[in-house]
Homo-oligomer: A and B are copies of this chain.
């Protein structure tokens, strides 16, 4: 299985990519087809300019979190499109979201980005 369920208080549940035991550094150990698919899914989440901008906006925001309402205008896409991309980022485990009243707040998951860095290491 390459997916697991993350559940914690206040944080909305979602099936997210589990990169913990998937995959040694690309340049070190061999990579079978299944692990390659899991890893490819993670990089797919980064393979879109809008998602990279969203990730950047969230990561560089004060307090490390951003209201979804502040993400639509900066990327210049419609609200449904932004919502879609945020879902992709969540499913990849790259961001977390938490609903507070009317608003949903997003924060990056540093560990997941670190996992991808590790895969690219020597």
Residues of A within 8 A of B (CB): 26-31, 33, 36-37, 39-40, 43-44, 46-53, 55-57, 59-60, 75-76, 108, 110, 113-114, 116-117, 120-122
Q: Which of A37, A51, A52, A60 has the largest number of chain B CB atoms within 10 A?
A: A52
> Which of B36, B37, B51, B120 interacts with A117 by CB under 8 Å?
B120
CB distance from A12 to the nearest CB of B (A): 22
User: How far apart are the CA atoms of A29 and B60 in the complex, in Å?
Assistant: 7
Using known A-B contacts A27-B108, A110-B122, A117-B120, determine if residue A47 contacts B40 with beta carbons closer than 8 Å.
yes
A57 to B46, CA, bound (A): 23
Are A33 and B47 neighbours in the complex by a CB distance under 8 Å?
Answer: no
- Give every chain B residue within 8 A of A120 (Cβ-Cβ): 113-114, 116-117, 120
Least Cβ distance of A118 to chain B in Å? 9
Q: Are A46 and B49 in contact, CB atoms less than 8 angstroms apart?
A: no
Residues from chain B with a CB closer than 8 A to the CB of A60 are 27-30
* CA of A37 to CA of B75, assembled, Å: 12
User: Which interface residue of A37, A56, A113 has the most chain B CB atoms within 10 A?
Assistant: A56
